[in-house]
Amino acid sequence: MLTSEYVAVDGALVLAIPTKLGQELFYTENEDQKSLIVWEAYHQNQVWLKAVINYKNWEIFETNDSKASEFILKTLKNVQNLSDTKLKSDTSYHIKTNLQFPSDFGLGSSSTLMNNLAEWANIDAFILNEISLGGSGYDVAVAKEKSAVLYSRFPERTYHKIDFNPSFKNELIFIHLNQKQDTREGISHYKSKPTSTELINDYSKLTKMIVNSQNLEEFSELMTIHEQKLSDFLGIPTVKEKYFQNCPSFVKSLGAWGGDFVLASKFGDYESYFKKQGFPRIFSWPDLIN
């Protein structure tokens, strides 16, 4: 999510782009009359979550992570309610997911799961996401289209693919902040503020200007404006104020503030600078973006 974080939930226009790494879903079905779901979630070829669920009475028989399994159970209940065919009979299902990036990267593990389950069950991914997770749904649009998109939630959901391929992309870098931020917690803080039509309009205009920016200098200035305007509204210091006060580049939060990735541009010995600040995981645009 490059623009309009938080304000997206109120309908501001969003620029969002897909990453190279994503999440896969595999399944098998067995007519064994047991009504079981065996759920296995893999990360880097290691099982991090396993759950066995009876979907007749929605009981978790076995798990290695109760909290994560409760979320899976809730989501699968929603799938059952929305689907005409899945989780309706005595069929048992073995569902396996494979996350292709570290779990603290915040690159859309939840939204890609919603989209994959929706495709499997032939249901609306946006509705599944809304009742299971909340949020604006921009990330579901990216997962569906597998492309950069311009997305808006209100007054009605609209999105379309765009070719976002800035000429200066090789000058851009992503820095990981060593932690994953809770998006729902961040949205809750934003929603505690009065809705601002002016803010929504401002971010929609900024998004269009950023999409059309012609050079790195213009892009950098717009990103700085974007960050400061939201900082003023939220009453939260910008990530640059918090960690990178003497950084010669713009530094912009991506998604929920306080974690995941930030965007900046190359300068001098930028790798040494960010590593000295305690953030050694630095990626170029081609490292992460198709």
- Identify the pLDDT of residue 274: 95
Are 119 and 140 spatial neighbours (Cβ–Cβ below 8 Å)?
no
Are 23 and 97 spatial neighbours (Cβ–Cβ below 8 Å)?
yes
Q: Provide, rounded to the nearest whole percent, the portion of the chain with pLDDT above 90.
A: 63
Are 134 and 186 spatial neighbours (Cβ–Cβ below 8 Å)?
no
Asked if 113 and 170 sit in the same domain, the reply is: no
What does pTM read for this prediction? 0.85
- Identify the pLDDT of residue 205: 97
Q: Is the pLDDT of residue 49 over 50?
A: yes
Tokens coding 234? 């939220």
CA 143 to CA 22: how far, in whole Å?
A: 9
Among residues 132, 151, 184, the one where a domain terminates is 132
Averaged pLDDT, 122-131: 94
**Tens digit of each residue's pLDDT (9 = 90 or more) over 167-197:** 999 999 999 988 655 556 656 766 767 778 9
Asked if 202 and 88 sit in the same domain, the reply is: no
- Identify the pLDDT of residue 184: 60
Are 124 and 82 spatial neighbours (Cβ–Cβ below 8 Å)?
yes
- Identify the pLDDT of residue 3: 94
Tokens coding 169? 């992309």
How many domains, in total, are found in the chain? 2
Tokens coding 33? 């009359």
Please name the residue that has the structure tokens 């205009």. Answer: 205
Asked if 108 and 190 sit in the same domain, the reply is: no
One DSSP character per residue, 232-252 reads: HHHT---HHHHH-TT-SS-EE
Are 27 and 96 spatial neighbours (Cβ–Cβ below 8 Å)?
yes
Q: Is the pLDDT of residue 280 over 50?
A: yes
42-46, 128-132, 196-200: least confidently modelled range:
42-46
**Tens digit of each residue's pLDDT (9 = 90 or more) over 76-108:** 999 999 999 999 888 999 999 988 766 555 545
Asked if 128 and 180 sit in the same domain, the reply is: no
Residue numbers of the domain that contains 222: 166-288
Asked if 180 and 259 sit in the same domain, the reply is: yes
Among residues 132, 155, 188, the one where a domain terminates is 132
Q: Is the pLDDT of residue 12 over 80?
A: yes
Crossing angle of helices 216-234 and 197-211, rounded to 10°:
160
Averaged pLDDT, 18-45: 88
Asked if 186 and 127 sit in the same domain, the reply is: no
CA 160 to CA 243: how far, in whole Å?
A: 35
**Tens digit of each residue's pLDDT (9 = 90 or more) over 217-249:** 999 999 999 999 999 988 889 999 999 999 999
The CATH number of the domain holding residue 232 is 3.30.70.890
Beta strands, E only, the chain: 14-16, 23-30, 36-43, 46-54, 59-63, 92-99, 149-152, 158-161, 172-176, 251-253, 261-265, 282-284
Asked if 88 and 186 sit in the same domain, the reply is: no
- Identify the pLDDT of residue 115: 92
Ordered alpha helix ranges (H), 83-146: 109-121, 125-132, 138-145
Q: 283 in a domain, yes or no?
A: yes
Averaged pLDDT, 8-21: 89
Among residues 110, 132, 154, the one where a domain terminates is 132
